[in-house]
Amino acid sequence: MPSCLLKPNMVLLSHRLGALFILTVSFVFFASVMFYWRTGQDAEGQLYNFSTQSRYEQVLPSLPPPAARGSPPSLGDVLFVETSERMNPSYLFVCSVESAARAHPGTRVVVLMKGLANGNTSLPNHWAFSLLSSFPNVEFQPLDLRELFSGTPLAKWYLQAQQRWEPYFLPVLSDACRIAIMWKFGGIYLDTDFIVLKNLKNLTNALGMQSQDVLNGAFLSFKPKHKFMELCIQDFVDNYKGWVWAHQGPHLLTRVFRKWCSISNIQKPMSCKGVSALPQEAFYPFCWEDWHKLFEAISSSELHRLLKNTYAVHVWNKLSHGTRLEITSQALLAQLYSQFCPATSVKMKNDSDTRSRPAA
pLDDT per residue as tens digits for the range 134-156: 999 999 999 999 999 999 999 99
The pLDDT score that the predictor gives to residue 236 is 98
The pLDDT score that the predictor gives to residue 360 is 62
The 3-class SS string of the chain reads CHHHHHHHHHHHHHCHHHHHHHHHHHHHHHHHHHHHHHHCHHHHHHHHHHHHHHHHHHHHHHCCCECCCCCCCCCCCEEEEECCCCCCCCHHHHHHHHHHHHHCCCCCEEEEEHHHCCCCCECCCCHHHHHHHCCCCEEEEECCHHHHHCCCCHHHHHHHHCCCCCCCHHHHHHHHHHHHHHHHCCEEEECCCEEECCCCCCCCCEEEEEECCEEEEEEEEECCCCHHHHHHHHHHHHCCCCCCCCCCCHHHHHHHHHHHHCCCCCCCCEEECCEEEECHHHHCCCCHHHHHHHHCECCHHHHHHHCCCCCEEECCHHHHCCCEECCCCCEHHHHHHHHHCHHHHHHHHHHCCCCCEECC
The pLDDT score that the predictor gives to residue 47 is 27
**The domain spanning residue 234 has which CATH number?**
3.90.550.20
The pLDDT score that the predictor gives to residue 122 is 81
The pLDDT score that the predictor gives to residue 39 is 35
Residue 333: inside a domain: no
The parent domain of residue 105 ranges over: 78-280
Angle between helices 227-238 and 250-261 (to 10 degrees): 120
Q: Contact 100/127 with Cβ under 8 angstroms?
A: no
Residue 1: inside a domain: no
Give the C-alpha separation, 253 to 216, whole Å. 7
Stated pTM of the model: 0.80
Q: Which residues of the chain have pLDDT under 50?
A: 1-17, 19-67, 354-356
Strand partners, 221: 188, 206
Residue 227: inside a domain: yes
How many structural domains compose the chain?
Answer: 1
Give the C-alpha separation, 141 to 118, whole Å. 11
Residue 106: inside a domain: yes
The pLDDT score that the predictor gives to residue 76 is 85
Strand partners, 358: 324
Residue 316: inside a domain: no
Give the C-alpha separation, 103 to 120, whole Å. 30
Residue 121: inside a domain: yes
- pLDDT tens for 40-66 read 333 333 222 222 222 222 222 333 444
Q: Contact 270/277 with Cβ under 8 angstroms?
A: yes
Give the C-alpha separation, 61 to 8, whole Å. 63
Q: Contact 328/338 with Cβ under 8 angstroms?
A: no
Residue 351: inside a domain: no
C-alpha dihedral (100, 103, 107, 113), degrees to nearest 10? 10
Residue 300: inside a domain: no
The pLDDT score that the predictor gives to residue 57 is 29
The pLDDT score that the predictor gives to residue 74 is 81
